[in-house]
């Protein structure tokens, strides 16, 4: 997540960046998983937010960031 970014906005951005699929909105948050671990000499704290996402069209869009106003139901 970017500094100050909302978890839902981060999820939509990551889906768009990784798949090209643009989600206008997300469904409910399914769960939060928190973990702490040590790797390569460093301590890490990770918090994963998992959301339900649905799409109607599987064709990727050309933009890399989700639109702010468009809805796709």
Average pLDDT over all residues of the chain: 85
Query: Considering the entire predicted model, what is its pTM?
Result: 0.67
Alpha-carbon span 22 to 60, nearest angstrom? 7
Task: Give how many domains the chain has, as a whole number.
Answer: 1
Whether 66 is covered by a domain: the verdict is: no
User: What is the DSSP code string of 19-64?
Assistant: H-PPPS----EEEEEEEEEEETTEEEEEEEEEE----S--SPPS-S
pLDDT tens digits for range 7-35: 999 999 999 999 988 888 899 999 999 99
Whether 39 is covered by a domain: the verdict is: yes
| Phi, psi dihedral angles at 46 (to 5 degrees) | -125, 135
Q: What pLDDT score was predicted for residue 62?
A: 62
Q: Which domain holds residue 26?
A: 7-51
């Amino acid at each position: 997540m970017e500094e100050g970014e909302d978890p839902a906005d981060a999820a939509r951005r990551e889906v768009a960046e990784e798949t090209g699929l643009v989600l206008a909105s997300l469904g409910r948050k399914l769960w939060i998983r928190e973990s702490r671990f040590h790797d390569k000499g460093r301590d890490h704290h990770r918090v994963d937010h998992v959301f339900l996402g649905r799409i109607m069209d599987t064709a990727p869009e050309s933009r890399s960031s989700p639109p702010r106003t468009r809805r796709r139901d």
